[in-house]
Amino acid sequence: GTRRAQSLGGMDFGDAVRLALPLGLFGLGVALVVYLAPRPPPIFLDKKRKRAQIADVKELSHDTKRYRIALDTARTVLGLPVGKHLVLYVPNPKQCLDSGKWNSKDDPDRGKQEVERKYTPVTGDETPGYVDLVVKLYRPCTTKMPDGKEVTWADGGKAGSYLEGKKPGDFVEIMGPVGVNEYLGRGMFKLPGRTVTVRRIGMMAGGTGLTPMLQVAQAAIRDKHDKCTFSLIYANKTEDDILCREMLDELATLSQGRFRAHYTLDFPPTGWEHKVGFISKSMIQECLPPPSTDTLILMCGPPPMVEFSCKRNLEELGYSKTSMVAF
């Protein structure tokens, strides 16, 4: 009999099937790979003002709380470069708007209805779904500054007063990233107008000025290829004022000698075995890397501390101004 042939452009039907089948399987395989391939997580911060919900509040000390802020989804990461920070929007208290005064002085925010406060989180992209802010609640008090003057804070801090009234389920508004300094990793810092690479990083922090130092050190210690060493002098008034002490001590242990924390207190308890008093030249000489083109000193804290305890002492010890970076 006659053989019936069906052709596809001159191709035998059987040949077409044999060609189409592997092509179809290949296409299906590619589609599956694309579908199953890990997709980059969504990023929360985009330099626009964002509304975010407080997921949890934990009391860390008598005047410090950890606020856990939920991001959009469980996969969403914050997207904050190391060394940068975010802005928290806070309403200017009514008593300040009415009187034009805050802490017995003219309102430093000049009567704005809303003020901005900058914070460096203690978590980053390694914790998808949330970000943690450690906030010191500056309540009304009298305090002694590094230049020796006593200052009375009759009203305390605006951001602390605002956040102290917040509970899980409430919302805050934040924006970022902001800031002029960035740690690119493995000793490389992007600073205003220049990029420098060093091997030894000294750090001096006071109070909540710890958080940028912790952020940089954590990122470096997580990177097994980062060989830089970090030495921190952390100054506080009392032992209860030390922020994130467990995190610091754990980081020192994990670092295998690459990170060291030195604590100093104005009012130490009985039996205190660490440093005492404001940051001094002798403390810097003992605890931080010496002046060198391979050394960078990072500083963050109250302006009098940075000016009198840090910069002035560093200059007298021979550190160049280009080796000093204030956060």
Residue 35 DSSP one-character state: H
181: its two tokens: 């300094």
Cα–Cα dist 59/73, whole Å: 25
239: its two tokens: 């032992």
Q: Supply the residues annotated as catalytic.
A: 85, 119-120, 300
Among 177, 176, 186, 206, residue whose Cα is nearest residue 298: 206
φ, ψ for residue 236, nearest 5 deg: -145, 170
